[in-house]
């Protein structure tokens, strides 16, 4: 509790809005995410630390998602939590849904890498060397195969919870670990987030803003874990 009455009142107003804005997780998901890309796993993984590092960085980029900027610089309004092997196509769909002029395929877009994270960022294209001018880098060629690989994992994780009323945390954890091994995600593991005081009998992966299962929100590339949440 704050000594400032306003702070407590604002906290109450925000908490109510947070709860209203967060749909309750569905036990029987009716729809999942649709990916158009085939489940191609793995770039021709050349051995060596440099290749492994490049793969890790690209995987992290793919896991962390894309920022779609409705302008030619980082000051433009943004939409995050967008995923896909082609950032420009993914943002084009977002812009179209937002009725933005950038949804028009005649308007050129450009994808860069950088910023905090770093992150894949898509802007309205404006001349040569735009990424460099913005202090960013060009998108690495290894991004698309890494995004395909993340999409395959995403689908595998989604299949673990689809149509199941309740999965015990330990059971889901084992299944996630098995999926990681099967798909070649070496060094990754399931992590049950148990520090939030929730002790529910059912476990969940992430959910998107529509309440549909969305494993992307469970992937943590920095710590190489798939986070499993306990229900209330």
Partner 1 sequence: MISDAELILASRQDPQAFRELYDRRADDLLAYFYRRVLDPEVAADLLAETFAVAFARRRRFRDVGRPGGAWLYGIAAKELSHFFRRREVEKRAIKKLGVVVPALDRESLDRIEALIDVDAHRRSLAAALQQMSAGDRDAVELRVVEELGYTEIAAKLRCTEAAARTRVHRGLARLSNLMEANS
Query: With CB under 8 A, what is the number of residues at the site for partner 1?
Result: 44
Of the pair 19, 44, the CB lying nearest partner 1 is at: 19
Judged by CB under 8 A, the chain residues 5 through 34 that form the site for partner 1 are 5-7, 9-11, 13-15, 17-22, 25
Q: Of 115, 65, 117, 69, whose CA–CA distance to 222 is shortest?
A: 117
Residue 88 to residue 112: CA distance in whole angstroms: 10
**One residue of 80, 97, 137, 199 binding partner 1 per CB under 8 A:** 80
Chain residues 180-219 in contact with partner 1, contact rule CB under 8 A: 193, 195-198, 204, 206-207, 217
Judged by CB under 8 A, the residue of 1, 44, 49, 50 near partner 1 is 1
Do the beta carbons of residue 177 and residue 189 sit within 8 Å?
yes
Query: Residue 72: is the preceding peptide bond cis (ω within 30°)?
Result: no
Which of residues 1 and 36 has its CB atom nearest to partner 1 in the complex?
1
Instruction: Examine residue 222 and tell whether it contacts partner 1 (CB under 8 A).
Output: yes
Cβ closer to partner 1: 10 or 181? 10
Residue 199 CB coordination number (10 Å): 10
Give how far the C-alpha of residue 156 lies from the chain's centroid of Cα atoms, to the nearest Å: 15
Distance of alpha carbon 3 from alpha carbon 205, whole angstroms: 38
Binding residues for partner 1 restricted to 147-186, rule: CB under 8 A: none
């Amino acid at each position: 509790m704050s000594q400032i009455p306003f702070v407590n009142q604002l906290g109450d107003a925000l908490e109510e809005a947070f709860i209203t804005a967060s749909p309750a997780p569905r036990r029987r998901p009716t729809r999942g995410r649709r990916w158009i890309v085939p489940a191609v796993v793995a770039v021709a993984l050349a051995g060596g630390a440099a290749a492994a590092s490049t793969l890790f960085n690209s995987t992290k980029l793919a896991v962390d998602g894309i920022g779609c900027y409705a302008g030619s610089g980082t000051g433009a309004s943004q939409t995050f939590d967008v995923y896909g092997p082609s950032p420009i196509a993914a943002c084009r769909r977002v812009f179209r849904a937002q009725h933005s002029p950038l949804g028009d395929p005649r308007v050129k877009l450009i994808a860069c890498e950088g910023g905090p994270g770093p992150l894949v960022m898509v802007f309205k294209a404006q001349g040569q060397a735009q990424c460099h001018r913005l202090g960013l880098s060009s998108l690495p060629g290894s991004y698309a195969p890494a995004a395909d690989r993340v999409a395959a994992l995403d689908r595998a994780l989604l299949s673990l919870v689809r149509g199941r009323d309740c999965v015990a945390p330990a059971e889901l954890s084992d299944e996630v670990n098995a999926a990681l091994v099967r798909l070649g995600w070496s060094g990754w593991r399931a992590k049950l987030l148990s520090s939030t005081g929730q002790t529910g009998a059912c476990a969940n992966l992430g959910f998107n803003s529509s309440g549909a299962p969305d494993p992307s929100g469970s992937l943590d590339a920095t710590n190489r874990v798939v986070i499993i949440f306990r229900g209330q």
